[in-house]
Structure 1
Amino acid sequence: MKILRFLFILLLAVSCSKHQLHPYTFYYWKTDLSLARTEKDVLQKASLPFLYTRFFDVDKTDGKFQPVGVITKDKSFITGKQIIPTVFITNRTFLNITNQETRFLAESIHALIRKKASEYHLKTGNEIQIDCDWTAGTRDDYFKFLNELKKISGKSVTCTLRLHQVKDKKLMGIPPVEKVYLMCYSTSSPLKKSGKNSILDVNILRSYLSKIKDYPVKNMAVALPIYSWGIVTNHLGKHRLINALSQKDLENPSFKKISDTEAEVLKDGFYFGHYLNKGFRIRVEEISDDQLQAVIDFLQKKYSLSILFIIN
């Protein structure tokens, strides 16, 4: 129901304003493909005919490329949306990569996408999306990979774009794609106690995107977060994330509320599928409808944008 609440209020705010109503859809970032009735209903109402679906991650371990978290599919995953395969690749995968390895990587990724699409009878289209937080040191090899994947797959290859890659475009380079997907979230690290919402801080986002009009790739969609999480801190100050926690989850007789968004565990036990000790602290980060609307208001002055929502 939380997804429905965020979606309905956001659409209402956009449609009742004087601004343009933007087309939208979702990213699906879970390893197990399954859809509850509520999720099916929400997805059906999305105005774009696509669902951007993470197929797997790629990492390099002991010098070898490895697929990680390859999708599985439940019988409940039924949708009329066209599936856009999305693959996350770690930045270190491109460190010291050879031209031969670049081609091998592109061939392997394309083959695994085709295998999973065929195995699970997924209706895919003409697009493959690559998600990588590339750096100045890996940009040339990453861009070579994108071109290689285009040649091998014969498809339109698109990629994600981080905020710092917009701000520092001269250093980070411009990816050789016709369309980019601007990731308007993770404006800071959730593991650093900055006092800011690490999922999305609108002021930080505005500073990163102050010159977005100058970005050369004009075909751009925006990804906005409608997810939440809890940041758990132990006695040693170490952190871990628990997905999909909200402020309501802090209303627990085994917790002592510190604020509306933070609580302390009073009794050892299993909470949210994790064992937490007495004294551990949980801080919840959520995205408000006002925050989402502020980002949309800021960006629609710059572009006519498609919107994709990130859920967890």
Structure 2
Amino acid sequence: MLRKTGFVGFIICCLVLSCVVGCKKKKSTARTAFYYWKTTFTLDKTQSSLLKAAADNRLYLRFFDVAWNDTRKEVLPVGIITLKQNVREFRITPVIYITNKIFENLAVDQVTPLAQKVNQLVNDIAGQNHIPYQSIQIDCDWTIGTKNRYFAFLKAFKSLNKKSLEATIRLHQVKYADRTGVPPVDKGLLMFYNMGKISANLKQANSIYNAADAEKYVRYLPTYKLPLDIALPLFSWTIQIREGKVIQIYGKIGQKELADKTNFEQTAQPNIYKANKSFYLSGIYIRENDLLKLEILTQKQLNEAAGQVSRHLAHLEKRNIIYYELSTIAASALEAKDLEEVSAHF
């Protein structure tokens, strides 16, 4: 009887140990990185420290935009980056933003020449600044009407550039993938922000991220036909509202400006401010009684966003979690451990 009891006890111990080991959360293999989107590249001490400590110097650097010029009826590069410091220590992925309007106007036989010009400019910038790169990312909010020309551009660019090719993916392009198509690239980058409605309604949920709007899209992620990295927001903006209408959105008006009691007073809603007078703020006209709605994500909301999207993703080793973007005030307010906590969800 003792032998039987001992054997049963041994089996129970094994089961408990197995449960403990099996239930232990698997360590994240995700890698943190940052976007940098300004036209002049120079990092201050805080930004340099955060990039190194949180992201091991992984940086997605916008090289230039490509836009359609209505006057000249042609495609032109815009906002070509100027690098004010040595970047050899950074692990850089070039990013090119291409407006969808190009593919609304471009003839089919002009797609490959465009790919040649973009590839040449990328390599010129990389060569002049001693930037070796293994992958490149194209950012374009294509539509059903432009997908064929955009996808043809990606194929032509890939054949020329020979590096790993990534493309940004908006949430609506995941939900309606059967209509918008899946770009012919090696990997996608899901932009998990800018998902809500920008509205003069003061009770409208945060348009940068809110769980209710996100939930309309995340259930489509498991079946998406590309491996996905994730972009999360490290920025804020302020919506200027006048007489019940949205006037404009400003990235350069933040908590610091709105906290100035000589210009604004906080309303009963903590993120809504009212102008005390008419004045100019950094060249922006603010009229007396204008309402300014600050939208920003807290550390808690960042973790909520990461937790929500990570639950719906197919498994991917060494997924890149890219924060947009390094030069913002919101990024400077964070420490490496804060972002490590968020990235650990993946």
Tell me the equivalent position of 1:141.
149
Tell me the equivalent position of 2:119.
110
Change (3 A) 1:295 1:20: farther
Unaligned runs of 5+ in 2: 1-23, 329-346
SS in 2 for 1:46: helix
Tell me the equivalent position of 1:86.
95
Deviates further, 44-53 or 60-69? 44-53
Structure 2 residue 238 is matched with structure 1 residue 233: no
Q: CA deviation at 1:79?
A: 6.0
1:183-222 matched pairs, under 5 angstroms: 183-190=191-198, 193=201, 195-217=204-226, 219-222=227-230
Q: CA deviation at 1:274?
A: 2.7
The letter for the 2-side match of 1:211 is Y
Kept in 1, the 8 Å contact 2:138–2:168? The answer is yes
- Separation in structure 2 between the aligned mates of residue 41 and residue 164 of structure 1, nearest angstrom: 35
The letter for the 1-side match of 2:191 is M
Query: For each residue in 1:197-229, what CA deviation from the matched residue of structure 2 results, as whole angstroms up to 9, or x when unmatched?
Result: 111112211221112111111x21000001111
Kept in 1, the 8 Å contact 2:200–2:241? The answer is no
- Separation in structure 1 between the aligned mates of residue 251 and residue 130 of structure 2, nearest angstrom: 27
Q: CA deviation at 1:251?
A: 1.7
Tell me the equivalent position of 1:265.
275
The structure whose residues are more often helix, as a share, is 2
Q: Percent identity?
A: 30
Q: CA deviation at 1:291?
A: 1.9
The letter for the 1-side match of 2:104 is L
The letter for the 1-side match of 2:280 is F
Deviates further, 132-141 or 149-158? 149-158
Structure 2 residue 76 is matched with structure 1 residue 66: yes
Structure 2 residue 172 is matched with structure 1 residue 164: yes
Change (3 A) 1:71 1:195: same
The letter for the 2-side match of 1:306 is N
Q: Normalising by structure 1, report the TM-score.
A: 0.86
- Separation in structure 2 between the aligned mates of residue 122 and residue 243 of structure 1, nearest angstrom: 32
The letter for the 1-side match of 2:175 is K
- Separation in structure 2 between the aligned mates of residue 295 and residue 41 of structure 1, nearest angstrom: 25
- Separation in structure 2 between the aligned mates of residue 106 and residue 58 of structure 1, nearest angstrom: 11
Tell me the equivalent position of 2:321.
307
Kept in 1, the 8 Å contact 2:39–2:80? The answer is yes
SS in 1 for 2:142: coil
SS in 2 for 1:105: helix
- Separation in structure 2 between the aligned mates of residue 296 and residue 20 of structure 1, nearest angstrom: 15
Change (3 A) 1:101 1:174: same
- Separation in structure 1 between the aligned mates of residue 38 and residue 199 of structure 2, nearest angstrom: 22
Change (3 A) 1:231 1:124: farther
- Separation in structure 1 between the aligned mates of residue 194 and residue 130 of structure 2, nearest angstrom: 30
Deviates further, 24-33 or 225-234? 225-234
- Separation in structure 2 between the aligned mates of residue 65 and residue 132 of structure 1, nearest angstrom: 14
SS in 1 for 2:245: coil
Query: For each residue in 1:109-164, what CA deviation from the matched residue of structure 2 results, as whole angstroms up to 9, or x when unmatched?
Result: 11221222233x14231212100111111111111000000112222221000000
Q: CA deviation at 1:170?
A: 0.2
- Separation in structure 2 between the aligned mates of residue 122 and residue 205 of structure 1, nearest angstrom: 40
Unaligned runs of 5+ in 1: 1-16
Structure 2 residue 140 is matched with structure 1 residue 132: yes
C-alpha RMSD over aligned residues: 2.2
Aligned structure 1 segments of 4 or more residues deviating by more than 6 angstroms: none
Q: CA deviation at 1:188?
A: 2.3
SS in 1 for 2:235: coil
Q: CA deviation at 1:191?
A: 5.2
Kept in 2, the 8 Å contact 1:162–1:183? The answer is yes
> Larger Rg: 1 or 2?
2
Kept in 1, the 8 Å contact 2:34–2:55? The answer is no
Structure 2 residue 189 is matched with structure 1 residue 175: no
Tell me the equivalent position of 1:7.
none
Deviates further, 170-179 or 123-132? 123-132
The letter for the 2-side match of 1:268 is S
Structure 2 residue 50 is matched with structure 1 residue 42: yes
